[in-house]
Structure 1
Amino acid sequence: MLPHWKANQFLAPALGEPYLLTPGPLTTDYAVKQAMLRDWGSWDGDFRAMTAEMRERLLRVAGDDKHEFDCVPIQGSGSFAVEAMLGTFLPKDSKILVLMNGAYGQRIVQTLNYLGRAHSKIDKGDYLPPRADEVAQALDADPAITHVIVVHCETSSGILNPVAEISEIVYAKGRKLLVDSMSAFGAVDLSVNKIRYEAMVSSANKCIEGVPGFGFVIARKSVLEAAKGNCHSLSLDIYEQWATMNKTGQWRYTPPTHVVAAFLVALRMHEAEGGAEGRLARYTNNRDVMVEGMRQLGFETLLRDRWLSPIIVTFFNPAHPKFEFSRFYDLMKAKGFIIYPGKLTVVDSFRVGCIGRMDANIMRQVVAAAADSLTEMGVDTAAPPAAALDERAKLAA
C-alpha cells in the first residue's frame, strides 16, 4: 500500500531540509518521500499496475477523454525525455522550427545538432515570447519546415510562452507542433481538447511535485504508430517503449521504481487539490505574494507582468556595491530557502521558484528572509543597475 496524506498541509520539509525555490527538483510532501521507503519488483504485477495507473492518470491530466493519446514514461531527466521525443517523432528528412527565448530552447537546438535533424530558429532573447505572426512568416518563408517546437515555460527567464496562439498558426499553416512542457504541465493548461499538438514532454519532478528519475511523453497514438524506426537511440526510442509497455505492462529497461511510487502519491495529491486548475491557483498566488514583497524591497523582475509565469521568476541582481549573490545565496540557505542562480548572458540575475509544496505563507517567509539577508549584507536597497532596466526597456519594446 502506498502512504496516505492529509490534504492542504504545507509543513516544513522533513529533517530540517530547506525549501527548494527552484523549477525542480522541488520541495515535496512528506507522503511523497515516505512512498520511497519500500522496494518494488520491476517485473512484479503490483509495480506493473502502478505503471498503468500512472499512465492513465497523466492522460486524465492532459484531458484525453477521446482516447486519442497515450502516455509513455522514459527513464532519466527531462532532457532525456526531450531528446527521446525529438529523436522518435522527427523523421530523418524532417525540418523543425525552434522557437527560442532562453537556455532550454538553445538546448533543443544543441540536441537537434547531435541528432542530425535539419532546423531553423526564431530567437527572441530573454525578454519576449515568440508570437503567431512571426511563426507564420517563418513558415511561409520555408516550405521545408515540417514541425515546430516551443518550450512552454522557459525557466531560464521565467517566461510563459503563448502555446495556444502558436498552435493555431502552426496547424493553419499545415505543420505539426511539439511542446516541451517540462516545467508547466500539471499547472498551466495544456489540455488536448483545447490546444492541438502531436506530442508534449514533461518530468516527474516539476508541477506534479514528484521526485527526479523519469520524464514522460504524451503523444497521439497515430504519431506513435508512425514513429517506428525513426529513433537514433536504443534506450530513448519512445515507440519501442510504448510497444513494450502495451504488450507486457513493463518498462523495457530497469525502471526507477521508487520514483514511480512517489509520483503516484503526488498524482493523487494533484487530483485532490483540484488538478491543474487548483495547482495553478496556488502557484499563481505564490508568485503574486512573492513578487509584491520582493518589489517592496527594491527588486525588479526581468520580465513585464504580462509574461511572468507562475513557475519561476527572474530578478535582476541589486546594483548596491555590497551585494554579492554568493553571499546572498548562503544567507538565504541559512534561513531555510534555496534560491536559483541566474541563467542569463546579458545581465546578472537570480531566480525564485513558485512551485513545490509551498503556499503563500511560506512565500511571505521567503520575502522576510530576503529582507534580513540584505540587512546583514549592508544593502539598503535592492534596486537594479540602471543599465539593466535600460536593457529590458530596449529589448522588451
Structure 2
Amino acid sequence: MNMKSNWLKLNSNSEPKLIFSPSVPRISASTHEALMHAQIFHRSETFHQLIDETSEMLLSILGCGNYTTILAAGSGTLANDIMLANFSVGTRCPLVLVNGEFGQRLLHQCSRYRSDTLVFDAGWGKRFDLVLLETYLKKKHEIDTIFFVAVETSVGMVNPVKKICELARRLGKQVGIDAISALGAVPIDYTSEAISCITGSSGKALLSIPGVLILFIRPKNFNTISGSIPHVLDLRSLLAARKSPGGVRNTLTSVLVYALHNAVADILNEGLSKCYRRGSLLKTHLLEQMKAISINPLANSDCPMVTSFERPNSIEWEKIRDYLKQRNLAVYDNSSYLEKRNIFQVATFGDYSLNEIFYLTNTLKDFLQST
C-alpha cells in the first residue's frame, strides 16, 4: 500500500477548492511549474544569478530602488525577528505602534531583544492618531526607532505609512516596517529616508509559496552590533552571503526562489497597477454583495485584498463553515484572534474573478435565507 498516495488522495478530496484566505494565495501556472524545477546547488554562480534577478524584480514591486534586498530561508516572522534584532539592539529606545494582532506580535518580538521597548497602542482595529503620536514622540525623547506594520492583516487595514515616515523623518527617528501583507497588495510609498528596513515574505500578495523571507535594508542605517545575536539572525552574515556566490542564506533552496521569481515576474508582466485595480474592483463588489445580505465589514478594513467581516450574530458560525465547505468554499475564520472577536476574513491574493466572489456571497445568501 502506498501510504503517501493514499494520504494525499484522502486529504485533498476533503479540502475546499475555492479558498479565500490570506495564508493561502492563489499561485499561477508558472509558479507551479517552478516547484517541479530541478534544484540548483545553492553555492553555484547560477543560484547567485537567480537570487540577483529575483531581488531586482522585488525592488520593482517595492517601487524604490534605494535598498539592498536580502533573501533567506524562513518565514515572515523570522524576517521580522531579523529586523528587530538588528535594528533595535544598539538604539536608545525602540517604539512599536500597535492597532491589531500583527502589531502586537511585533511588540512581543521586539520586547525579547529590548525589555525597555515602548508601545503606542491605538486600540484593536483603530486608526493611529498622528497628532497624539507626535505628542508622544516629543515627550519620549529617548525613542529613536519606530516599528509598525504597513497592512494590519488581522483587520484588513492599511496604515498611513507615508505620514508616519514623514513624522519620523521630521523628528529624527528611524523606521522599520513589516510589509508582509502589503507588498503586491496595495501601493505604498517607501521612499522616505527615515526607513531603515522593510520585511516581506514569499507568500501573501507576492503569490508564491511561503518559505523565503525578504529584507529590504539601507546598510548605511545599519548599526554594528555585538556578537551576542544568534548567527541565524545576524544581518552581517546575510549581507556577506549576498556578496558571495558561496555564501549560505540559511540553506535557501533554489526551488522556492525560482517559484518566487516566476510569481513576481507574472505580477510585473501583468502590471502592478492592473493588479491593484483588480483587487479594488473585487473589493467593491464583495462589499456590495455582503451589504445586501447584512454582513458588515469592520469599519477600517480598507485593504483591497483582505477584508474582515462581523459574523452573523444570530447563527452558529460552525454551521456556516460546514455549509461553505460542502460547496467547496472556505473563508479565513479559525485563528484565535478572529474567533475571539467574532469576525471572519475574505482574502483575494491572486487571480480571483468576480464570478468567484458572487459564488461565495450567493452561497452565504442561500444559507442565511434557509435558516
TM-score exceeds 0.5: yes
Distance 1:207 1:213, change over 3 A: same
Indicate yes or no: 2:235 matched with 1:241.
no
3-state SS of 1:73 partner? strand
Alpha-carbon distance between aligned partners in 1 of 2:228 and 2:88, rounded to the nearest angstrom? 8
Cα distance in 1 for residues equivalent to 2:90 and 2:55 = 28
Stretch deviating more after TM superposition (41-50 or 170-179):
41-50
- The change in CA–CA distance for 1:357 and 1:285 in structure 2 (over 3 A counts) is same
Matched-pair contact (CA < 8 Å) for 1:181–1:201: yes
Q: Cα distance 1:249–1:296, how it changes in 2: closer, same or farther (>3 A)?
A: farther
User: In structure 1, the residue corresponding to 2:232 is in which secondary structure?
Assistant: coil
Corresponding residue for 1:9?
none
| CA distance 1:231–1:86, change in 2 (3 Å) | farther
How big is each residue's C-alpha offset from its partner over 1:323-349, in whole Å with a ceiling of 9 and x where there is no partner? Answer: 222221222233232211162576311
**1:302 aligned partner:** 298
Question: What residue ranges of structure 2 are gaps of 5+ in the alignment?
Answer: 1-11
Structural RMSD (CA): 2.3
Seen in structure 2, the aligned counterparts of structure 1 residues 271 and 122 have a Cα distance that, compared at 3 Å, is: same
1:227–1:21 Cα change, 3 Å: farther
- C-alpha separation between the residues in 2 aligned to 1:241 and 1:21? 34
Q: Which amino acid aligns with 2:239?
A: W
Separation (CA, whole Å) in 2 of partners of 1:93 and 1:166: 19
In 1: Cα distance, 2:338 partner to 2:118 partner: 22
Shift of 1:19: 2.6
Cα 1:37–1:59 change in 2 (3 A) is same
Q: Secondary structure at the match of 2:319?
A: helix
Match of 1:332 among 324, 340, 349: 324
Instruction: Report the alpha carbon displacement of residue 21 of structure 1 after superposing the two structures with TM.
Output: 1.1
Judge conservation of contact 1:170–1:176 (CA < 8 Å) in 2: yes
* Residue correspondence of structure 1 range 60-75 to structure 2 within 5 A: 60-65=60-65, 68-75=66-73
Matched, 1:369 2:363: yes
Q: Would you say the 8 A contact 2:147–2:176 is kept in 1?
A: yes
1:89-119 deviation per Cα after TM superposition (whole angstroms, max 9, x unaligned): 2233431111111111111111122223521
C-alpha distance in 2 between matches for 1:45 and 1:312: 39
TM-score norm. by structure 2 comes to 0.89
Is this contact kept in 1: 2:286–2:357, CA < 8 A? yes
Distance in structure 1 (CA, Å) of the matches to 2:111 and 2:201: 23
- Deviation string 1:48-107 (CA, Å, 9 cap, x unpaired) is 221111111112222334xx3100113211111111111012233431111111111111
Counterpart code for 1:264: H
Match of 1:98? 96
Aligned to 2:267: 270
Which residue of structure 2 aligns with residue 169 of structure 1?
A: 167
- TM-score (normalizing by structure 1): 0.83
Structure 1 residue runs without a partner (length 5+): 1-13, 380-397
Q: Secondary structure at the match of 1:278?
A: helix
8 Å Cα contact 1:52-1:249 kept in structure 2: no
Matching of residues 44-193 of structure 1 within 5 Å: 44-65=44-65, 68-193=66-191
Task: Check 1:230–1:312 CA distance in 2 against 1; reply closer, same or farther (3 A cut).
Answer: farther
- Tell me the distance in 2 between the aligned counterparts of 1:230 and 1:216: 23
**Aligned amino acid, residue 42 of structure 2:** S
User: In 2, are the aligned partners of 1:149 and 1:179 still within 8 Å (CA)?
Assistant: yes
**Aligned AA for 1:50?**
L
